[in-house]
Structures are given as structure tokens and as C-alpha cells.
Amino acid sequence: MSANRTLLPFAMTVAGIAIFSAMDAVMKGAALAAGVYTAVFLRNSLGAAMMTPVWLAAGRPLAGRAALRVHVQRAVVTSGMALLFFYGITVLPLAEAIAISFIAPLIALYFAALLLGERIQPSAVIASVLGIAGVVVIGAGRMQSGALSDQAISGIAAVLVSAVLYALNLVLQRKQALLSSPVEIALVQNLFMAMILACAAPWWLHWPTWPTLGQIALAALLACAALLILSWAYARAEAQALVPVEYTGFLWAALFGWWLYDEAVGVPTILGAGLIVVGCWIAMRRQNPQLGLAP
């Protein structure tokens, strides 16, 4: 029984990451068909509608004014992050975009130092160099193969900026988790993102076809399910112990990209992803010696 309790959060994390990767794959198709803005705006709108009955069933949890400020800050950040990331995956293979986005936890170390007063360890600098090297390897691989078009450059830039915003999102997420329940977070983030994105609807929203709307609804359902599953897992195991499992997202992205879009994963992408993951692992070992990960 004890072993099951220990392994279950890891199994649920693997499942949550797989579902999130499936959502990315579905969103790629929806964004290509309807446009990035339409796909993201409708996904969050439908996500808020799906989470409302869950929130009501949970007793309508609301954490108060302090949490509201963090909800708004995070919604602004994640709105930009989502638009940039989903644009990136429309012009890059899924696995390549996911590999580049892995640099976010390294950037988060610097945001944590800036916003939370945490001390930057020397290992974090080494980890950051490895992460940057990984991105360079991926870009060099594209250049060598002649696939570094203007569109690919814009996609890589979009994913990198999205990773910076995701790193800031990770810091805000720490504050948010201390103030609000997972159900409240899932509802409010979808709702606030939809409200922020709605400001551009008169100019950018193009109503999709019914099959594409079905894709977007499926993406919203997958996103809500993954968020709830991961929230459950992170409530039952330490975050530092589960973070390495998140790198299975590269494998899922490679699988879904190959299966749905016939995307091949080149050696430079694998090497670059490996450098970034090693960098994150080095940083993580120094951050949490209590888990026995320190050298």
C-alpha cells in the first residue's frame, strides 16, 4: 500500500503530461485551421465553461482579494505565453518546440532571485549555459539542414519568448498555489484569460468550422483534465521529485508529432533537448538537497 501511495503521484504525473502533450497536438491542428488567436481564445472560453460545474460542486472556493491580484497577474502572463507558444508549434515540429521550451525552469531561477529574493547558485549559471547551448544546437541543426527559414526563426523566437513568460508564470504559480485551491485556479485562469483575450475578438476572432470547433473543445477538455490530474499529483508528492517526469513531454510530443503530422525528430533536436534537460537537472539537484539529489 505504501509503495502504491509513493508511485501513484508519479504515474499520475506521467498521465497528466501525456494529456497536456495530446492537447498541444490537438491545438496545433486547430490553430492551423482557425488561427492561433481563435484557437486559444475559444479554448479558454470553453475551459471556463467546463470548469464552472466542477467549481460549483467543490463548494465555490474563492481565496479573496490577495489571490485575485495574483490571478490577474498570472492570466496576463499566460495569455501572451499561450499565443506565442501555439504560434511556435504551427511553424515548428512539436518535439522541437517542446525541447526549446524546456529552458523555462532555468530562466525561472533568475526570476525567483529577482522577485522572491532567492540566491542564485553557481550551478544555476552552469545549468543556464547548458540550456542556451541546447537551443543553439537545435538552431544549428536547422541551419545545417537548410530548414532555418524566416518562418522557422520567428517560431523559435516565439517559443523562446514564451519560455521567458512561462518562467515568470512558474514564479507566480508558487504564490498562487499558496492562496487558492486547484479547482479555483483552473476556473479563474481559464476565465480571466478568456476575458483578456476577448478584448481583441472584434478584430482577430474568426468563427471556425464545426469540426475545428470540436477540436478546440477537445483541447479545452484535455487541458482541464491534465491540470486537475497534475494538481492532484503535486499535492501528494514534492514538486522537485516530480519535475523530472515533466521531461517525458518531449517523448510524447515526438510521438504525437510523428503520428498526427508526420514530423521527424532529428539528431540535433535530441542532442539539444538532452543538454537543456541536463542543465535543468543540475539546477534542480542544487535546489533541493533534502531529496538526496545534491552531489
How deeply is 273 buried, as exposed, middle or buried, from its count of CB atoms within 10 A (0-12, 13-18, 19+)?
A: buried
Distance CA 249, CA 230 (A): 13
| pLDDT in the model for residue 198 | 97
Rounded mean pLDDT, 76-88: 95
Give whole-number Cα distances, 289 to 48, 72, 80, 189, 294, in Å.
39, 34, 34, 33, 5
List of residues 6+ apart from 115 with CB closer than 8 A: 171
Question: Which range has the worst mean pLDDT, 70-74, 87-91, 263-267?
Answer: 263-267
| pLDDT in the model for residue 147 | 62
Q: Quick one: residue 56, left, alpha or beta (phi over 0 = left, psi -120 to 50 = alpha)?
A: alpha
| pLDDT in the model for residue 96 | 86
Structure confidence at residue 142 as a pLDDT band (50, 70, 90): low
Distance CA 171, CA 108 (A): 7
Give whole-number Cα distances, 174 to 74, 171, 237, in Å.
11, 5, 15
| pLDDT in the model for residue 243 | 63
Cell for 286?
Answer: 542544487
Residue 8 has pLDDT above 50, yes or no: yes
Cell for 259?
Answer: 503520428
Using the structure block, give the residue that is written with the C-alpha cell 472560453. 45
Phi/psi at 271 (nearest 5 deg)? -65, -45
Domain positions in the chain: 2-291
How deeply is 138 buried, as exposed, middle or buried, from its count of CB atoms within 10 A (0-12, 13-18, 19+)?
A: buried
Distance CA 179, CA 133 (A): 37
| pLDDT in the model for residue 1 | 43
List of residues 6+ apart from 66 with CB closer than 8 A: 179
| pLDDT in the model for residue 35 | 96
